[in-house]
Amino acid sequence: MDKPEESTILKIPSVLDKKPTSNLRDSLTARQINMLPTRNLIQAGHNLKLDPKVREKESKSSSTYFGDMYLGDVKTNGKFVGVMYRDHEYVDGDRIKVSLNDEVVEPNVFLTGAFKGINLDLKKGFNRIDFEALNQGTSGPNTAQVNVYDDQGKLIHSNMWNLSTGSKATIIVVKE
């Protein structure tokens, strides 16, 4: 009777007969493995020189003026919504003020490339969430992405804004 390797057209080597040529444990401990690059990781926008003063509004007659924006409305049955925001373009020092029903809930938020946010308790009926641009960073306008989540963590609304200093972006959340 022929050997199985000789009777097939393909010459496939046996993996069961082969003995290991190196000790895997020794090969892993023999050298240090560094998963990070040799340079230090830095946060986007780390080298920004920011002016802490809130600037005057830009002239409305200017062609680069970005006025108030209505970002839409959404309905929910939840007790609260989670509102997350981030700078969706160049991280240049944009800052915002967040208000719920004309009450300031976050007076001065520095927008980074990562989402940050707040849970907002809702009253029955209309709830107005305003995002006021406190500045335009080093390259205007003030840009951001905002996501709204219900109390179950489901995304129910998403939008973006471009605002001049002093302008507001508004979302209406209707609690049924």
Give the distance from CA 109 to its chain's centroid.
14
| Residue 33 maps to a domain | no
CB 116 within 8 A of CB 106: no
pTM score of the predicted model = 0.66
pLDDT tens sequence for the chain (176 residues): 455 555 556 677 676 776 666 665 655 555 555 555 555 656 666 666 655 555 544 444 445 788 899 999 999 999 999 999 999 888 888 999 999 999 999 999 999 889 999 999 999 999 999 999 999 888 879 999 999 999 999 999 999 999 999 999 999 999 98
| Residue 56 maps to a domain | no
CB 58 within 8 A of CB 164: yes
Please tell me the predicted confidence (pLDDT) of residue 138.
Answer: 84
3-state secondary structure of 21: coil
In angstroms, the Cα distances linking 15 to 12, 19, 20, 70, 138 are 9, 9, 10, 66, 62
- CA-based torsion, 5, 7, 11, 12: positive or negative: negative
Find, among 121, 116, 122, 124, the residue nearest to 85 by Cα. Answer: 116
Q: Which residues constitute the domain of residue 116?
A: 69-175
| Residue 109 maps to a domain | yes
| Residue 30 maps to a domain | no
Give the distance from CA 118 to its chain's centroid.
13
Please tell me the predicted confidence (pLDDT) of residue 122.
Answer: 94
DSSP 8-class letter at 17: S
Instruction: Say how far apart CA 138 and CA 90 lie, in whole Å.
Output: 9
CATH at 124: 2.60.60
Please tell me the predicted confidence (pLDDT) of residue 19.
Answer: 67
Instruction: Say how far apart CA 119 and CA 100 lie, in whole Å.
Output: 11
Q: How many domains does the chain have?
A: 1
* DSSP bridge pairs for 132: 97, 168
Please tell me the predicted confidence (pLDDT) of residue 100.
Answer: 96
| Residue 134 maps to a domain | yes
